[in-house]
Chains A and B, each alone.
Chain A
């Protein structure tokens, strides 16, 4: 079955620690995205990647970093510089050829930093 997987589902960390969230897709999509979702707010774009070895900052990139070494994988690191890291993180992917805006989402990772 094709889809997007994120791990872990729940993650707990102490303040000051960096943490990496995993995102893998087997949909053969070129583009991948990371969003953050807070209660009462919509999805906010952190980073996106159109192709391997290339990525761009989204609207709230400060305190986050990404890499795109493989087409299938787009891990997100939440660094200690992120002031409010506790949130629900969603990864998505989409095609780039043809007129398609539909993004396919993973099940998300809920990060709690204390």
Chain B
């Protein structure tokens, strides 16, 4: 059974801190890893990582994948209260050209306080 584990489960930081969220996986067929941000309702897409060692960056957020050690990290620098959300990690099997059946982790709940 495919498994995606995120840590920590929850985290409280002060505005301006830097945080690192972890995602490890055990899957039979791996193609890509995705990060989503869920603020209140609908998760929104952040990054997709397919190649090991190549950092993806968007503003204060960055992520990297290690396919040898089977994990990914999501870094957020200079955190703001608007970063408070649940961060979800998901893995995707090899592409078949049809539906993408993702396996999600439990998520990390991040709270940024003033």
Residues of A within 8 A of B (CB): 4, 30-31, 33, 35, 40-45, 48-51, 56, 58, 90, 94, 96-97, 99-108
Q: Are B99 and A43 in contact, CB atoms less than 8 angstroms apart?
A: no
Q: Are A45 and B43 in contact, CB atoms less than 8 angstroms apart?
A: no
Are A42 and B4 also in contact (CB < 8 A) when A103-B102, A105-B43 are? Answer: yes
What chain A residues lie within 8 Å of B92 (beta carbons)? Answer: 101
Are A108 and B41 also in contact (CB < 8 A) when A103-B100, A103-B102 are? Answer: yes
Are A48 and B99 also in contact (CB < 8 A) when A101-B92, A105-B43, A106-B42 are? Answer: yes
What chain B residues lie within 8 Å of A4 (beta carbons)? Answer: 42
Are A100 and B105 also in contact (CB < 8 A) when A40-B9, A90-B42, A106-B42 are? Answer: no
Q: Size of chain B's interface in residues, with CB distance under 8 A? A: 26
What chain A residues lie within 8 Å of B43 (beta carbons)? Answer: 43, 90, 105
Query: Please, how many angstroms separate the alpha-carbon atoms of A99 and B92 in the complex?
Result: 11
Query: Please, how many angstroms separate the alpha-carbon atoms of A43 and B88 in the complex?
Result: 9
Q: Are B98 and A31 in contact, CB atoms less than 8 angstroms apart?
A: yes
Which residues in chain B, 64-114, are within 8 Å of chain A measured between CB atoms?
88, 90, 92, 95, 97-102, 104-107
What chain A residues lie within 8 Å of B97 (beta carbons)? Answer: 96-97
Q: Are A31 and B99 in contact, CB atoms less than 8 angstroms apart?
A: yes
Q: Which of B9, B99, B105 touches A50 (beta carbons < 8 Å)? A: B99
What chain B residues lie within 8 Å of A42 (beta carbons)? Answer: 4, 6, 88, 104-107
Q: Are A41 and B106 in contact, CB atoms less than 8 angstroms apart?
A: yes
Distance from B106 Cβ to chain A, minimum over Cβ atoms (Å): 5
Additional A-B contacts beyond A45-B101, A48-B101 (19; CB < 8 A)? A31-B99, A40-B9, A42-B6, A42-B88, A42-B105, A43-B88, A44-B104, A45-B102, A51-B98, A56-B99, A58-B101, A90-B43, A101-B32, A101-B34, A101-B100, A103-B102, A105-B44, A107-B41, A108-B41
Q: Are A94 and B106 in contact, CB atoms less than 8 angstroms apart?
A: no
What chain A residues lie within 8 Å of B4 (beta carbons)? Answer: 42
What chain A residues lie within 8 Å of B101 (beta carbons)? Answer: 45, 48, 58
